Structure 1
């Protein structure tokens, strides 16, 4: 799913108006009607008080359209205009007049803290105050209103984006933003829904289709994409009946040190479970028996040193190499990696201490093959690119780093983001159960195994992150967040693959929507 910028959304609105020969008021009517349909399907006429707070721009206009539809359908609606300036948009004024024609309860004008209405925790708040166009700090009394919303503990529904939240920056004051229970976002989710510092402002979100021009939607290239099942299905490579292991490549996992052989076991098992034809593991001598005993499917090559890797030398010709898991940062290991990189021409996936070594000796970055994949967690990323001021600054630094070195960087997190050049691929799978030791080693193995099968580095990264998270999502149903361990992610990879072809169950809500349509 494309994630459009606010500038692109404005352009899409204008093109839709021109190409469909409608007015901006007509487009606003669509938006408000879609929000009404969403609420009506879920409320089914319930008489809970609905407090709709409207700004004086187009977001407020959407709120007035919603209010009119709710009133006409018999809901208990209370309307308020957040009077933040004297400049009212044309479409706001049109819909202000329209809503006055359907009720004697005209919107209450709010201009200070003394105007705040009484709201109970069982009520519903609709936030239609500011949209994506807000470009200034909110007034103190409006900030107080946002704080009041939170104190009421009422369910808060934001229209398009939580008011006060910019689409391209991190708020300096968290009290100056609405903390939404749910956000109904037009056309596209917003990038801020997926970043650690801004995702907290909406617990859930959903995209509403308001009928923007299809050519605009399909032809416009976006900086960011949200990756779900529909996005990875075209990437998937099915197997032929007569295929054999030689067609799916040979993965080599290089890593491990005394006390950290488990990391290599996890990565190599994940490489094979993701579909690699063959897996060989290069470890210090102390890893030989653990690997042969616990993972008989793998072949093992050992370093001459008992406890650490001091020399990387092998006669096999791997398709792809996963480097760094559990390898440590001993001086001899660092020299071994430097010597290896000087002669290596094979595709690389680098994780953990492999990244830490690159951060210590940044000259080694010049030795990496094109489109090598780095999978850092936050601290490893910081060592690599330096400190950042906020999540947007971090992404800019990662994009610059990727472009400079022609590398792919998987920024791991709740919504892991694969970065290549100027493009962001935001993953939609995964859960807090992945916050456990070894889950990163498993991801390294999965991406390595996919590249082994012939997936290009970018596809392997995007698909691998998706499968990793999906496997955890399926496994967590059996184990829960606290008891999920990295090995479970490997064990459920097969289920993640099978899920690609499962048809979603018909949700009850769709049946209800049809009933509503027939009623109308």
Structure 2
């Protein structure tokens, strides 16, 4: 997994890499610019003019290199540069000197009056080194960019954002942010969504071993991290090898959630899936999910004890369960009696929040709260940085895995590491999507995966399935569409 280091170390990392590779910083900048342009030319095949706003540091140097490459590709490019007394970086100066004469160059001064028309704007004003709010001419330029209503693309990080902290003041509101090698931490904060837009991470070839000297709890989960986390099976494998799981939940009027969890577990590859539901849900389960077995429960409209759990390899509890005294008894029994892998979601998390004494008894457990459910567990947070800190304290204290759901879902591990998922999109914000994730993670646990493996594989496959499902459905994507695409995620990742 790719470490996410602090912005203050990026320049040092670059120096280490160029020295080890016997290349120049200009050549590394060229590599980044080529990666950006490869993405850009694949994304924007129209011939709209491109305006690139360049600061005087290395982010501006990136912008100048991008201008040169796009011009060579036949695009109409205008470079806006600051006539500033600030010291210009060496790579900025060199890239400016080799710009083709045909590229229009506009000096930005305090008296400059300019307006953007129907162009694509590339923001290369400030990079990860910024540690103060924007002011003066820079603030004025960012205001003009934001009021232009054009497509704006930020190089590495939107100008005005600090790399590791919350925004102070104004920042570029980008439709796309193309970050190099790893996403800077602040790009993953929900508070910065309107500034970051769609996040793209371009690999520029800096190997993981170059990050070893930098201490960071933050990691970025990528597609080529996933295959090695998976177990392998062979043609003599039978349904017992693929795990026997039980999903518990559902109540009158809320049976759809456990239906979705059961379907997701089956599509993820569980050998045997059972659902424990109240009596009112039995005909629904058996008609909607004929491949699943139904464990008959004494409860008419809600689940009640007793239940049989000893024969299963993993349990998932919570979808549609309801918050009732019977639910408290049920969750208490499972926590105290089941020592194998357990996924706790939805109403089961809300029960934990109301009965904190149960938290001390957790073992072999993955909790999957969304932001509101997490708030009920640990209290409100001022911002996402504080939320991440509370999640780290929670998982290290209770030695559990916590999947904090949302854009760039974070898998929080008992050793303090926090892994940001790179898959998924806004079209997954639909009822039942979390129930599908419960089924996926429970399935992996039942197949013999560790808590860490199950959580990481679960969130990645879930997000990728959402991306595949929404290609055609867009805002019309529903949870069952996501479930239908789970098998395709294995194919895309080359996992048999």
TM-score (norm 1): 0.84
Partner of 2:139: 143
Partner of 2:179: 185
Partner of 2:150: 154
Output one character per residue of 1:7-61: Cα deviation in whole Å (capped at 9) or x when no partner: 4422321212332445545544554565566667888996x65433222222223
Partner of 2:288: 294
CA shift in 2, pair 1:39/1:486, >3 Å: closer
When the two chains are superposed, the root-mean-square deviation of aligned CA atoms in Å is 3.3
Range with greater deviation from structure 2 (245-254 or 492-501):
492-501
Partner of 1:453: 447
Selected match of 2:159 from 152, 159, 163? 163
Q: Is the 8 A contact 1:62 1:128 kept in 2?
A: yes
Deviation of 1:109 after TM superposition, in Å, equals 4.3
CA shift in 2, pair 1:167/1:304, >3 Å: same
Q: Is the 8 A contact 2:4 2:220 kept in 1?
A: no
Residue segments in structure 1 that go unaligned for 5+ positions in a row: 503-520
Q: Is the 8 A contact 1:15 1:213 kept in 2?
A: no
Partner of 1:133: 129
- Please show how residues 448-487 of structure 1 align to structure 2 within 5 Å: 448-477=442-471, 480-487=473-480
Structure 1 counterpart SS, 2:178: strand
Q: Distance in 1 between matches of 2:380 and 2:38?
A: 45
Partner of 2:412: 419
Deviation of 1:202 after TM superposition, in Å, equals 3.3
Deviation of 1:328 after TM superposition, in Å, equals 1.0
Q: Is the 8 A contact 2:133 2:168 kept in 1?
A: no
CA shift in 2, pair 1:318/1:96, >3 Å: closer
Partner of 2:112: 115
Selected match of 1:278 from 268, 272, 278? 272
Output one character per residue of 1:296-326: Cα deviation in whole Å (capped at 9) or x when no partner: 3333333333222332432642111111121
Structure 1 counterpart SS, 2:197: strand
Q: How many pairs align?
A: 494
Q: Is the 8 A contact 1:56 1:92 kept in 2?
A: no
Selected match of 1:237 from 211, 231, 234? 231
CA shift in 2, pair 1:356/1:129, >3 Å: same
Structure 1 counterpart SS, 2:376: helix
Q: Does 1:407 align with 2:400?
A: yes
Q: Is the 8 A contact 2:77 2:104 kept in 1?
A: no
CA shift in 2, pair 1:39/1:465, >3 Å: closer
Structure 1 counterpart SS, 2:245: strand
Q: Is the 8 A contact 1:161 1:184 kept in 2?
A: yes
TM-score (norm 2): 0.88
Q: Distance in 2 between matches of 1:255 and 1:40?
A: 49
Range with greater deviation from structure 2 (65-74 or 4-13):
65-74
Deviation of 1:147 after TM superposition, in Å, equals 1.9
CA shift in 2, pair 1:22/1:434, >3 Å: closer
Partner of 1:507: none
Q: Distance in 2 between matches of 1:436 and 1:212?
A: 37
CA shift in 2, pair 1:297/1:484, >3 Å: same
Structure 2 counterpart SS, 1:134: coil
Q: Distance in 1 between matches of 2:432 and 2:71?
A: 54
Greater radius of gyration (CA): 1
Partner of 1:514: none
Partner of 2:332: 338
Q: Does 1:262 align with 2:256?
A: yes
Partner of 1:14: 15
Structure 2 counterpart SS, 1:152: coil
